[in-house]
Amino acid sequence: MELLKLGFEISERTTSRYLPRVGSRGDAAKRWLSLLRNHREVIAAGDFFTAPTVTFRVLYCFFVIGHGPRRILHLNVTEHPTGQWIVQQLREAFPDESAHRYLILDRDTKFAAGVIDAIKAMGMKAIGAEYQSPWQNGVAERWVGS
């Protein structure tokens, strides 16, 4: 601002070189990674992938994977995933008092408010991965191969 008063015009790019970065993306990535490392035994992740059939239909495969042992806790397939169907799959994945406290989900519209409410009712906290950030749900994404 002071340089503008003196008649100097400086681009935003030049200014950003000399100002300290506050809350850079690298810090968020480090915090997320430390959360995953420190709590892997109580974290599970759920996601969908699609599988085309020979008759050109699309099947939606829903799975839940535990982060600690990296073991598939549940897998099921449907042609029409609905919120009620997802809630039933979660009940089957976590039938009793589960050791899992967190469930990582992506921002898919299939995980609507009813699904989130069911997750809370099971005593878990739903953690939504950021939009277009597959690395935040890396265990599930690696299992699928995406």
Q: For residue range 3-41, what is the model confidence (pLDDT) as tens digits?
A: 777 777 777 777 777 666 655 555 767 777 787 788 888
Is residue 66 a contact partner of residue 85, using CB atoms and an 8 Å limit? no
Tens digit of each residue's pLDDT (9 = 90 or more) over 100-124: 888 988 888 888 888 999 999 999 9
The C-alpha atoms of residue 134 and residue 85 are separated, in whole angstroms, by 24
What is the DSSP pairing of strand 125-128 with strand 102-105?
parallel
**Greatest C-alpha distance within the chain:** 72
Tens digit of each residue's pLDDT (9 = 90 or more) over 119-128: 999 999 988 8
**134: pLDDT strictly greater than 70:** no
The better pLDDT of the pair 42, 145 is held by 42
Q: Is 98 exposed, middle or buried (0-12, 13-18, 19+ CB in 10 A)?
A: middle
Residue in 72, 73, 82 with CA at minimum distance from that of residue 108: 82
pLDDT confidence of residue 92: 92
Per domain, the residue ranges of the chain are: 23-144
CATH architecture, range 23-144: 2-Layer Sandwich (3.30)
The better pLDDT of the pair 65, 132 is held by 65
The C-alpha atoms of residue 117 and residue 105 are separated, in whole angstroms, by 13
